[in-house]
Structure 1
Amino acid sequence: MNEIKKAFKKITPHRLDEIKEELKYRDENIVVETKKKKRHYLFAVPVAAVCMAMVLMLLPSTHAVETVVGLDVNPSVELNLDNDYKIVEVKTNNEDGKKIVGDMNLKGSDIEVGVNALIGAMLKEGYIDELKNSLLISVTGDNEQENEKLREQLSLNIDELLKASDINGSIVSQTISDKDIEALAKQYQISVGKAEIIQQLVSKNSLYTFDSLKNLSIHELNLLLQSNQVDQVSITGNASESGYIGKEKAQQIALTDANVSNPEMAKVEMDYDDGVMIYEVEFYKNQVEYDYEINATTGAIVKKEKDNEHSTQSSSQSTQQNQTTSSSNNQISQEQAKSIAKNHAGVSTVSQEKMEKDYDDGIYEYEYEFVSGNYKYEYKINGTTGSILKHEKEYVGQVKINHNDAKQKAFQHAGVSSSNVYDVDVELDDHHYEVSFKSGHYEYEYEISAENGSILSHEKDYDD
């Protein structure tokens, strides 16, 4: 009781009386008082049976585990719950988790009480602060609808606790239904929740591997999640970059080194490469592309590239290009290209967006694909003038799942891990996604319903 009281003192003083009252009877022994009765041999067996049933009803129940809630910061703790959301067992996945749990006996407590106590202890010990403001909640169980409700409620509760401690937290939350993730977690000796996050990142970015990401903190993984826009997780707030040089400083370092001013900025994003958190800085100037990798902690230039192969054209090609682009050396941004396409299509709300920038026949082009209503739109836009070079509109029916959902459905059915696949391609066609990929010595092709995610067809061929 003293330990829980200390954990709550700072952040939830208004809840202490309620929590104490709830925990007061958790370990109370139940005594059944019996009185001597006159002997009625005819009813002896029924009466004994009724008494036994009453005793069993009064004794503490031993509910089976229905749901598992994982909390990961650096401390990693799992709470096993029964169907009443009472804590059946507390498991710790690392030494920091053991430190946080300490002597607290949370068995029999409501999930809200247990989570509040653990978050309070993490705040007290400095595991969550303004520099490292990320926390991961993972809910695993058979009832997906109830899991989603619990995920949302826990996320809201924890956000309130952090704000009460003057911390603008970034809470990553997810529900997990993939049973295979437990094997990956065991293989890499990390929590199931962290393994699921890494799997999503690996499937989103082919440059990542489990081995390269397994030792990252939840805060570092959150920074990568926000750069890679993973769909399967919910993120509230922004992961703090206060412990790093920041995007503006990284951009300035790259521009100063390149001796470039007023470029078209393509992106400045947090990334991870060769064991170091970096900022990827990409920009264009006078048809030349610049790519920089800046150490996110020290500001040192890790890598830089200058792609000017297209400027070494023949004089006739250069003359033709200069005539084409003489009106303007400034290129339109991605957001401008999107706006041009959506205005032309006459739509405002879109989903399933895919944007690529390429260099073709002496000019930069944006290739933009999106879905609105029951149609898929594809646009090719001149990156300098903003003129529409090509556009298509195709009926695809109701689209309720995204590219990544379709891909994961195919991986799951094929029995392969996203970390072991390559040459992945996902295209939205009439009412379905066409998903193709390779794993091991095999090539797989799937058609996945865009409306409900069902598998319409699949093939598996030996890859020579």
Structure 2
Amino acid sequence: MSKKAFIRFKTAASAFMAAALAIGTLAGASPIGAITGQTSVIVVQAAKKYITEKKAESIALKDAKLKKSAVEEFDEAELEKGKKPKYKLAFSTETKEYEYVIHATSGQILEAKWDLSDKDLYEEPDDDEEEVAKKAVTVDVVKKAVQKDARLKKSFLKNLKVSKATEDDDEDVTFFKVTFKNGKYKYTYEVEAYTGIVISMEKKYSGK
């Protein structure tokens, strides 16, 4: 390289470094320079930009297919910073209690769940119908209940795994657990064993 060409290269490189430093300063970033031989490398570390609490609420409500007017109580969103920053949200309607975990930079839903808020919504038949109450619904009824809630295609029913009925003494309820994977989420449903009513849903982002 001729002396003139080297001077032009050096001048251009200096201008580039100055511009990069200026951009990093304006953006509130911390520019780090690493020099190897005659080549200067600049890495600009931009500050993380979080979505707003209002945006996180909007994402959760859209996923739950709810209008804000239908929400009776909305707890203040909790922002947890770190390697995987996230918002934790909780809200309730007349019939359900919801919880969401949303990535604070991408807006990706990481976890979502809901439970029926009142046992009366799925209580077993009265004593005068005791004979019916003792007979659990069929697996087909369980699958169709989940299909309807999750809005799955009929052809997807074969992918649903239904466990044996489980009795929860604390909640005084017997339920079937249904699990499946759809898209990038793993789902777990609980269906009341004697009425066939879906009592809870949980989904977790698998990223695969």
TM category, shorter: 0.3 to 0.5
Bigger-Rg structure (1/2) = 1
Report the TM-score, using the length of structure 2 for normalisation. Answer: 0.34
Question: Greater strand share, 1 or 2?
Answer: 2
Report the TM-score, using the length of structure 1 for normalisation. Answer: 0.16
